[in-house]
Amino acid sequence: MGAVIDVEKSLIAKRGRIPALYENSHRYFEALDWFAPGKRRFRVHAHDAWPGADYRGVFDFDLGTGQVRTVREDAKLK
């Protein structure tokens, strides 16, 4: 098994604590695929701040540099 990589830490370093993501108490980070050598796409979703509030984002993570690139985001806050 390979090394454990904390993509959440890299996401915070790149984007800061995304309010729509961190206002929710349930946050999930899900690896989607390897889209290029050393590059991983992952999805983040969060919910439970209040009914109708949720966050969804897709990001690319470069294992070599630790850089995170936003692919798309959708935040619904009231």
Structural domains of the chain in order of their starting residue, each with its CATH number: 7-76 (3.10.450)
Separation CA 25–CA 11 (nearest Å) = 17
What is each CA distance from 49 to 14, 22, 69, in whole angstroms?
A: 23, 9, 25
CB atoms inside a 10 Å sphere around CB 30: 10
Q: What is the pLDDT of residues 6-54, one digit of tens each?
A: 889 989 998 899 888 888 888 999 999 999 999 999 999 998 867 777 8
For residue 76, name the pLDDT band (cuts at 50, 70, 90): low
CB 43 within 8 A of CB 55: no
pTM of the model: 0.81
CB 31 within 8 A of CB 42: yes
